Amino acid sequence: MDLFTWCASTLIFATLLLLTSRGGSAASFTFVNRCDYTVWPGILANAGSPRLDSTGFELPKDSSRSFQAPTGWSGRFWGRTGCTFDGSGSGSCLTADCGSGQVECNGLGASPPATLAEFTLGSGGQDFYDVSLVDGYNVAMIVEGSGGSGACASTGCTTDLNRQCPAELRVGEGDACKSACEAFGSPEYCCSGAYNTPDTCRPSVYSEMFKAACPRSYSYAYDDATSTFTCTDADYTVTFCPSSPR
C-alpha cells in the first residue's frame, strides 16, 4: 500500500469511527420532565437547519425522550403547559403555545411568555447554548452537557418565577410571567429604536429581578457576558422543573 492510499484509508476509517461513535450526529438532546404535571415541549429549528424528529410532543411527568441533531444545527426548545389536545392531536396550550393548533408546532415558535433554551451546534468547533428569559418565563428549566470538553457549564432557571412575578407582569393566576417588553412595549424595555445597542439598552428593575433569581439566564437582550455558554462534542439534557423531587 502506497502512502497516499494509506492516508486515504486512515482518513476514511477515522471518519467512520467518528460517525459511529456519535451516531452520525453532532449531539443528542434528552428532554426530562420532573414537573408534577405534563409538559409539551416545542422545537423550532432556525432557518437553514433541518427539522428534528419532532417539532412538538407530549412529555408526561417522570418521563424522558431523546432526539439526534446534526452538526451545525441551531434552534430553540421550550415547554408548553396547560395543554388540551383531542384524539386527533388538535388543541392549544395555556402558556407558550405555538399557534399551530396541533401537538406538533410545525415551524412555529412559542407565544410569550416562554422560557427558551437556545442552541447552535458546532459553530467554530464549539456548541453555544443559553437559557433565555427575554421573552418572559413560564416553567423552570435547566440545560446540562455531558461527555464534552471545555467549560460545559449547566445553565437555566431553577426558580419558580411565577410565584414571585410582579402583578403587572403576571399572566392569569400565576401561570406565567411576562417580560417588561411584552407587558409595556416601550423601546427601553424592548431594546428597540434608540435603545437598540449595548450602550443604550440597560437592565431594568424587571430584568434585574429575573437575573437575581436566575443568574445564568438571559434577562434582557444584551445580557451576553454571563448568559452564553460553550462546550465541544457534548450531548445535552433539558430538564423541566429540575428542583422538583426525583
CA–CA dist 53, 50 (Å, integer): 10
Mean pLDDT of 221-244: 92
Which residues are 58's β-sheet partners? none
Mean pLDDT of 226-240: 95
179: left (phi over 0), alpha (psi -120 to 50) or beta: beta
pLDDT at 163: 95
What is the reported pTM? 0.87
Residue range 25-240, CATH number = 2.60.110.10
Q: How confident is the model at residue 26 (pLDDT cuts 50, 70, 90)?
A: confident
Computed over every residue of the chain, the mean pLDDT equals 90
For residue range 115-142, list pLDDT tens digits in order: 999 999 997 789 999 999 999 999 999 9
Within 10 angstroms of residue 19's Cβ, the number of other Cβ atoms is 11
CA–CA dist 139, 61 (Å, integer): 14
Alpha carbon distances (Å) from 116 to 21, 38, 66, 80, 185: 29, 17, 18, 11, 20
For residue range 66-84, list pLDDT tens digits in order: 999 998 999 999 999 999 9
pLDDT at residue 41 tops 70:
yes
